[in-house]
């Protein structure tokens, strides 16, 4: 069963934009397109199999690795896939906890 509704939080949109801005400063358009395609593939995978990601701490949030340096945090509420955050894994984990609590 594929989840029919995919919702991006403001934090997820902001964090995705930050990742893309960083990539633009370092890589060319092809790499950025591959990165965005990879995110789309992972979201499609999650949509088809919502429990594929590992549980985060003791919450209903889940995490799926997009790339060795980037993870996607999400939650499934009823029939909605909620994208919470695109996270650069090299950042401070304490900041991750703070950011997830804000959502």
Ordered structural domains, the chain, with CATH: 5-90 (3.30.2310.20)
- Residue 6 CB burial class (10 angstroms; 0-12, 13-18, ≥19): middle
- pLDDT at position 101: 87
What's the pLDDT tens digit per position in 27-58? 999 999 999 999 999 999 999 999 999 999 88
Range in 1-5, 68-72, 97-101 with the lowest mean pLDDT:
1-5
**In the chain, % of residues over pLDDT 90:** 78
- As a whole number of angstroms, the distance between CA 97 and CA 6 comes to 23
- Determine the pLDDT at residue 1: 66
Taking the C-alpha atoms of residue 26 and residue 8, their distance in angstroms, rounded to an integer, is 26
State the Cα–Cα distance between residues 18 and 79, nearest whole angstrom.
28
């Amino acid at each position: 069963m594929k989840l029919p509704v995919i919702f991006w939080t403001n934090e997820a949109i902001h964090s995705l934009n930050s990742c893309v801005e960083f990539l633009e400063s370092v890589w060319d358009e092809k790499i950025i397109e591959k990165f965005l395609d990879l995110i789309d593939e992972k979201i499609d995978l999650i949509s088809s199999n919502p429990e594929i990601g590992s549980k985060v701490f003791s919450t209903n949030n889940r995490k799926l690795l997009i790339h060795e340096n980037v993870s996607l945090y999400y939650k499934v509420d009823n029939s909605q896939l909620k994208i919470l955050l695109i996270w650069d894994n090299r950042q401070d984990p304490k900041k991750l906890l703070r950011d997830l609590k804000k959502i």
